[in-house]
Amino acid sequence: MLYRRGKTWWMGFKFGGRRFQESTRTKNKVLARDIERKRRNDLASGLHQLKKPVTPTTFLVASKDWLKAKQPTVSKRTYEIEALKLRRAQAALGDLLITDITPDDISDYQKARLAEKASPRTINMEVGVVRQVLRRNRLWANLQQDVRMLPVRDKVGRALTSEEEVRLLEACGKSRSRALLPFVVVAINTGMRYSEIRELTWQQVDLIGSTITVGDSKTEAGAGRSVPLNTTACNALTVWATQFPDRKPHHYVFPAEKTGFAGDDMEIVHYDTEPTKSIGSIKRTWRRAKTLAKVPVRFHDLRHSAVTRLLEASTSLITVGELLGWASGTVALMAKRYGHISSQSLRNAVDSLDRTPKPEPAPEAKRPPAPASVN
């Protein structure tokens, strides 16, 4: 069957138990019919070596196989994120045969997740892993025309002002969690991701050389990168290290521990510290601190703040990309997304043009000496 998309003719037909939908790459219907006929003949002649029909299996089994195959090719953190995305989809679609999944099933899934107050961005990421599972089994092409992703309002983030940073750090210093202040100081002064800081061990921190070596990261470019520590970050970690005089290289920099109150004056105490287990989460104490400081900011905005300050200091994009762990092909795009250059910095940049030296006037041409007189 031939049909048009815009001005181009497409062909759609079944052969060998498979559905084929391909562009003929022509606007001429007669030529498109000849291309379709040739395509059918080629398939019948075995020139294109049809793949075996997909063996019916449930989405739960297929998704587990996909995740298992993906594990060796991605970082530990990426694997955990992909597994988390799959859980909801597995609960909703797990019992369906992958050959029976329809666009309506995916649409119903999107509606159910919206009713559960999940964000459109989260739902799109979950549908994205469903797409990858079906694509691996050569089934997505039959659905993609009728599946629509939800519209998403892109959160570009923001950068802290100097005043906001002061208020935020003061609030962190008053937190019940003694880990919150050094945790946030490291984030602001290195631009490291939350998970990268949370998983730090002391063997990755060189206080003498003022350097952190990142372990697992969200991206391949981010894993194993070296991040220099400025004076603020190095001092914060040096003071923090004194809290753990018996620390070992494999111990976590921010270990799991419990916090409580003791005595009549309700002094804050920390107990049951587990150095071989990383801190669970700082979300609750972080939320309290930013509320106290009256700074509406996400933790990831600390990374935005670091990028913005690097760019305002005229740091090259290549250097920023190396520090932040961006893939080389995305540096310019990520810098645009993460950099929030202030109007004052833009004004300073324009004012610098006034100081551009003007070219000096060209020296006057010397007259050639008069020729000697001939008697």
Q: Is pLDDT at 357 greater than 70 in this prediction?
A: no
DSSP run (H or E) holding 180: helix 180-190
Strand partners, 276: none
Mean pLDDT of 130-154: 88
Higher pLDDT pick, 39 / 139: 139
Higher pLDDT pick, 90 / 220: 90
Q: Is pLDDT at 361 greater than 90 in this prediction?
A: no
CA distance 256 to 115: 35
- The DSSP result for 214-265, as a single string, is --S-SSTTTTT-EEE--HHHHHHHHHHHTT-TT--TTSBSSEEEEEEEETTT
Least confident interval from 65-69, 184-188, 264-268, 286-290: 264-268
Mean pLDDT of 97-117: 92
Highest mean pLDDT among 11-20, 199-208, 264-273: 199-208
Residues 6+ apart with CB under 8 A from 182: 236, 237, 239, 240, 254
pLDDT at 338: 77
DSSP run (H or E) holding 162: helix 162-173
Choose among 302, 279, 324: nearest CA to 186.
Answer: 302
pLDDT at 86: 92
214-250 pLDDT tens trace: 988 777 777 889 999 999 999 999 999 999 999 999 9
- The DSSP result for 94-158, as a single string, is TTSBGGG--HHHHHHHHHHHHHTT--HHHHHHHHHHHHHHHHHTT-GGGTGGG--PPP-------
Higher pLDDT pick, 339 / 12: 12
Choose among 194, 168, 177, 188: nearest CA to 308.
Answer: 188
Does residue 175 contact residue 183 with C-beta atoms inside 8 Å?
no
Q: How confident is the model at residue 29 (pLDDT cuts 50, 70, 90)?
A: confident
Please write down the HEC assignment for all residues of 18-38.
EEEEEECCCCCHHHHHHHHHH
Mean pLDDT of 9-33: 81
Q: Is pLDDT at 356 greater than 60 in this prediction?
A: no
CA distance 148 to 300: 28
Q: What percentage of the chain exceeds 70 in pLDDT? A: 86
pLDDT mean across residues, the chain: 85
308-325 pLDDT tens trace: 999 888 888 888 888 888
Higher pLDDT pick, 347 / 84: 84
Structure tokens at 241: 């290290």
Does residue 9 contact residue 32 with C-beta atoms inside 8 Å?
yes
pLDDT at 234: 95
CA distance 89 to 255: 33
CA distance 221 to 224: 8
Q: Is pLDDT at 48 greater than 60 in this prediction?
A: no
pLDDT at 328: 72
Q: How confident is the model at residue 57 (pLDDT cuts 50, 70, 90)?
A: confident
- What domains sit in the chain, N to C, each tagged with a CATH number? 2-44 (no CATH), 59-146 (1.10.150), 162-251+281-342 (1.10.443.10)
